[in-house]
Amino acid sequence: MAQLWQGRFSKAVDSRVNDFNSSIRFDSRMFRQDINGSMAHATMLGEQGIISPEDQEAILDGLQGILTDLQEGELSIDPEAEDIHTFIEQTLTARIGDAGKRLHTGRSRNDQVALDIRLTLRDESEKILGQILDLAQSLCRQAEANLESVMPGYTHLQRAQPVTFGHQLMAYVWMLLRDAGRIQDALKRMMAYCPLGSGALAGTTYPLDRQLTASLLGFGEPCPNSLDGVSDRDFCIELCAAFATCMMHLSRLSEEIILWCSWEFRFVELDDAFTTGSSIMPQKKNPDVTELIRGKTGRVYGDLTTLLTMMKGISLAYDKDMQEDKEAMWDAIDTLSLCLTTLTPLIDTMKALPQNMRAAAAGGFINATDCADYLTKKGMPFRDAYKLTGSLVAYCIDHHTTLEALPLETYRQHSPLFEEDVYQAIDLLNCCEGRTSYGGPSKAGVQGQLQKARQEIETIRNGLEGEADIPPQNETEEEDHP
């Protein structure tokens, strides 16, 4: 397949350069977006009288036919093509003749690829958002089932204060909802300005209606500066940063699951369908899914570093370095999507073991703060209560017992302020229920979190459904040649 820019050159490009330069192996992913962008461009060219109504109709019909054939497998993308833009334009010309050659009027591959990658990232990000919400809902279901499953809360990975398993899981729901918000914010900025019509770098002499193409494709308005329109990849960096942050949250959750399902913790048991065994140790049940998520987090960090490094030293406007944006973005998208869609059913099928959680909570003296608070409410200064409770903990350790099992007589030997009601104050579930401050682990508090989180999830889902009428798209490439 011939290059679109071959007229300037007197000899063929070395085959090794062609292979090195080609992007078809990864920008073919954007064929839907490229065709939709071209249809909007052709519509505008016809409306402006830049091409005839007959050419406009032929181009639109031809592009629709190519899209249908590609989607139905009747047409295959030529792996020898330089890029997806070349393949589609030359296929169109082969089908409809000279009218196909007029499609590129007033357009460069530079603004074409800047458009295509935005449209692709919009579509892919909306899928990612749906997957994030699915995982958040799965965590909500587990949290609701464990509103009274008392477990140790940790600082420094040391048992600290009592919480419930539901409260612990809801922390990750809020992380995921922030991830969704970051992606939404990035999409708003990305879709605020349409680069189509920026040309190679300096616009065009044709009387384009850039507002029309922007509107047809779901953008707010045209990019105000043609140089920035073709050279901006901030949206890639911003989205990839949001994806990397989401992966970090998945990795933290994965680390906790790995700990929870170990014999040392035994807080949860993973379903057999989401674990693996050992080739030599028959007793093993390995949390490979969560371990892989931890490992794959580094890939997405690397994709973000690739984008930042790619952009840090290039001059305006388009440079071939920017062809590297797609492989990094596709890898970040595919990696995050795979992790989300695998982790969600793992969470759904995960079995909590509340008895083990409570035993760990009782053995960790995590109700010591509540014991000190009990004395403080009886009139003892907190620092004195803190010291006395520390002495009680030391006594329990020496005598292999817990605060809950300590006789009242022993309590009173340390302070006459202790009464029978101390056992109610240090009951682990009561400790959680007593923490009624907003955001705390009480049953009512976690139920309030669930209600609020589910409202946010529904709002985001409704917003995604509202975008369904915008034409979908998929991938593209870049070039310096008008």
Q: Which residues are catalytic?
A: 156, 278
Would strands 221-222 and 193-194 be described as parallel, antiparallel, or unpaired? parallel
Sign for the pseudo-dihedral over CA of 100, 103, 109, 115 = negative
Are 372 and 386 within 8 A, CB to CB?
yes
DSSP result, 365-420: TTTHHHHHHHHHHTT--HHHHHHHHHHHHHHHHHTT--TTTS-HHHHHHH-TT--T
Q: What's 81's DSSP letter?
A: S
Round to whole Å and give the CA distance between 391 and 152.
21
Long-range contacts of the stretch 62-71 (C-beta < 8 A, 24+) = 62/92, 62/95, 62/96, 62/99, 62/100, 63/35, 63/38, 63/39, 63/88, 63/92, 64/39, 65/95, 66/35, 66/91, 66/92, 66/95, 67/31, 67/32, 67/35, 70/31, 71/32
SS3 label, residue 286: strand
